[in-house]
Amino acid sequence: MKKKTLKKWKGIVGIGFGLAVAAGLGVLYWKIPDNRPWQYVILEAGAPLPQPEDFLIKQAKAETSFVSDISSIDTKVPGDYTVELASGRFQYSSVLQIRDTVSPLGGVKELTLSVGETCVPTDFLEWAWDATDLTLTYAYGGPDFNQAGDQPVTLVLTDVGGQETRLNTVLHLIADTTPPVITGVQDQTVYVGDTISYKHGVTVTDDKDTDVELVVDNSGVDLETPGTYTVVYLATDAAGNQTTATAEIRVLPKDTDMASYEKKIELADEALAECWDSTDSEVEQLRSIYNYVRENMSYTGDSDKNDETGEAIRGFTEGVGDCFTYFAMLKVMMEEAGFETLDVQRVGGSTHHFWSLVQVEGEWYHIDACPRSHYSEWLCFLRSDSEVEAFSKMWKKYYNFDHEDLPATPEHGLGTDPAGWEYDDD
C-alpha cells in the first residue's frame, strides 16, 4: 500500500529516507516510487490542502490537475476523502486522509464563588487552540460546590482526534453567611369572612441568589373569628441563611357588630391605662392585668356564652358575670397589650368553664382569673399543663381539656403555689 505523509515543517521536508527542501511540505515515501499516484496521502488536521502533484509518486512531465473539487474539504475535520485527478491523458484516484495527532492548547483562570453556586468547565477557560473542534470537561467528577475552601480543579481539553490536554486551576468557594432581606410585610385589617393575599407587595432580595424561597405561615390566623393574629414570613437562600418577618392580622367583626367590638376595645384600652405599664416584664404586665380583672369583677354565675364581646363589655361596665365574662374581659385586655392568646374550654363535667393560654417569652401558659369556692388560694396564673392537671385531680376535673391542636406548656409554670401547698391525687 502506497502512502504519502504531508506535514508543514518550517520548510524542511522529509523524503523517503533522506531530507530535501520542498516548499514547506514533508513527504514520507513508504516504498520505492513509481509512476502511479499514492494510494493514500496523509495530512495533519488544519494544514493547507495539498497540490495535485503531491498525490503522484513521481513528478509527471504532463500537467497534473484535480478532477474532483477538493475545495469543499475542511481540513479541520478528520476523515478519508476520495480525490480524482488527471495527469496528461491518464486519470487517477487517491484518498486524502486527514488525521489529528497534535494535542490542543489552552489556558485557564481561577474562579471565586459562594458555596452553593455552580459553574461549568468553560467558566474557567481563558483561551484554547486546536485545528479541530474542542470539548472541555471536568476530570474526576468536578468540584464539590457545597464545600467551602480552595479546591484544585483539573479540566480536560479534548480535540476531535481524541488528543487530550489537562489544565489545572483552583476554585475558591466562600461560605455565604448573609441572609436574604424581606420587604413589604405590613399589618393588615380585614373583616370576618374576608380573604387575604399574604404575599401581595412582599419581595425578597439576596446578595447571591436571584430566586429565594418565601414561605408564609398563616396557620395561626382565623379569618372567621375576630381577633389579632400573627402571620410569619420565612425566606431561605441556597446557602441555608434564613430571615423571618411577622405581621399582625386584625380580624374585625362584620359591620353589624362593629359598634360593640369598638366599644369593647375602647373599654379594654381604658382599663389598661389604669393598670398596665408596657416597660414592665411580660410576667409583670400579665400580673397587673390579671389582678385588675379579679379586683374589678364579682362572680354571679350567669353569662351569654354566645356573645364574647357583649360579656367583655358587661365585665368592664357592670363588673359582674361568670367564668365566661372573666375569660372575655381578661382575653381582650391581654390581646390589646400585645399578647397572643388561645381559647381553652373544659371537656366533661356538668358545667362549662373557659380560660386562656397566653404566650409569654415564647412559651405558652394557662391563665384564668375566675375565682373558685374551693382551693381559692391556688391561682391559675401562668400555670403549666402538669399543674392544671394535678389541680383537676384534686377538684372535680376542673381544668380537664382537650390537648389536641393546643401547644404544650413547659414542665413548670411561672406562677407561685400558696405556702405549704401540696397537690393531692386522692
Q: Is residue 365 part of a domain?
A: yes
CA–CA–CA angle 94, 96, 99 (5° rounding): 150
Burial of 55 (0-12, 13-18, 19+ CB in 10 A): buried
pLDDT value at residue 25: 40
pLDDT value at residue 11: 26
The residue to which cell 477538493 is assigned: 70
pLDDT value at residue 3: 54
State the Cα–Cα distance between residues 385 and 292, nearest whole angstrom: 24
- Number of domains, the chain: 4
pLDDT value at residue 412: 92
Residues 117-139, mean pLDDT to the nearest whole number: 93
pLDDT tens, residue by residue, 307-366: 899 999 999 999 999 999 999 999 999 999 999 999 999 988 778 899 999 999 999 999
Q: What H or E segment, with its residue span, contains residue 104?
A: none
- The separation between CA 47 and the C-alpha centre of its own chain, rounded to angstroms, equals 52
Domain boundary among 174, 193, 217: 174
**Residue 98 corresponds to which amino acid?**
I
Q: Is the confidence at residue 182, as pLDDT, over 90? A: yes
Residues 151 and 186 occupy one common structural domain: no
pLDDT value at residue 265: 93
CA–CA–CA angle 262, 268, 274 (5° rounding): 140
Higher pLDDT, 391 or 424: 391
Q: Is residue 336 part of a domain?
A: yes
Q: Is the confidence at residue 14, as pLDDT, over 60? A: no
Q: Could you tell me the three cell numbers for 104?
A: 490542543
Domain of residue 351, CATH code? 3.10.620.30
Residues 17-21, mean pLDDT to the nearest whole number: 31
Phi and psi angles of residue 161, each rounded to the nearest 5 degrees, phi first:
-80, 0
pLDDT value at residue 295: 95
State the Cα–Cα distance between residues 128 and 350, nearest whole angstrom: 88
pLDDT value at residue 255: 58
Q: Is the distance from CB of 283 to CB of 414 less than 8 angstroms?
A: yes
Residues 385-404, mean pLDDT to the nearest whole number: 89
Residues 28 and 61 occupy one common structural domain: yes
Confidence of residue 415 (pLDDT cuts 50, 70, 90): confident
pLDDT value at residue 7: 43
Q: Is the distance from CB of 223 to CB of 251 less than 8 angstroms?
A: yes
Higher pLDDT, 394 or 382: 382
pLDDT value at residue 10: 26
Residues 18 and 118 occupy one common structural domain: no
Q: Is the confidence at residue 170, as pLDDT, over 70? A: yes
**CA torsion angle 125 127 130 131 (round to 10):** 120
State the Cα–Cα distance between residues 108 and 277, nearest whole angstrom: 67
Q: Is residue 400 part of a domain?
A: no
Q: Is residue 236 part of a domain?
A: yes
Residues 268 and 388 occupy one common structural domain: yes
Residues 212 and 307 occupy one common structural domain: no
Lowest mean pLDDT among 19-33, 141-155, 211-225, 279-293: 19-33
Q: Is the confidence at residue 96, as pLDDT, over 60? A: yes
Residues 261 and 383 occupy one common structural domain: yes
pLDDT value at residue 397: 86
Domain of residue 237, CATH code? 2.60.40.10
State the Cα–Cα distance between residues 32 and 57, nearest whole angstrom: 9
The residue to which cell 485557564 is assigned: 108
Q: Is the distance from CB of 325 to CB of 318 less than 8 angstroms?
A: no
Q: Is the confidence at residue 29, as pLDDT, over 60? A: no
- SS3 of 178, please? coil
pLDDT tens, residue by residue, 237-291: 888 899 999 999 988 887 556 778 889 999 999 999 999 999 999 999 999 999 9
Cβ count within 10 A of residue 43: 24
What residues have CB less than 8 Å from 266, skipping those under 6 apart?
none
**Residue 232 corresponds to which amino acid?**
V
Residues 284 and 333 occupy one common structural domain: yes
Higher pLDDT, 273 or 21: 273
Confidence of residue 19 (pLDDT cuts 50, 70, 90): very low
pLDDT value at residue 256: 56
- SS3 of 71, please? helix
pLDDT value at residue 288: 97
Q: Is-above-0.95 flag for pTM?
A: no
Q: Could you tell me the three cell numbers for 92?
A: 487517477
Q: Measured between alpha carbons, how far is residue 107 from residues 128, 155, 165 in Å? A: 6, 10, 10
- Burial code (b: 16+ CB inside 10 Å, e: under 16) for 353-377 equals bbbbbbbbeeebbbbbbbebeeeee
Q: Is residue 39 part of a domain?
A: yes
Q: Is the confidence at residue 418, as pLDDT, over 80? A: no
Confidence of residue 143 (pLDDT cuts 50, 70, 90): very high
Confidence of residue 191 (pLDDT cuts 50, 70, 90): confident
Closest by Cα among 335, 208, 203 to 264: 335
Q: Could you tell me the three cell numbers for 414?
A: 411561672
pLDDT > 70 fraction of the chain, expressed in percent and rounded: 89
Q: Which domain holds residue 290?
A: 257-394
CA–CA–CA angle 256, 257, 262 (5° rounding): 130
Residues 248 and 264 occupy one common structural domain: no
Confidence of residue 145 (pLDDT cuts 50, 70, 90): very high
State the Cα–Cα distance between residues 348 and 363, nearest whole angstrom: 27
Domain boundary among 77, 99, 121: 99
The per-residue pLDDT of the chain, averaged, comes to 86
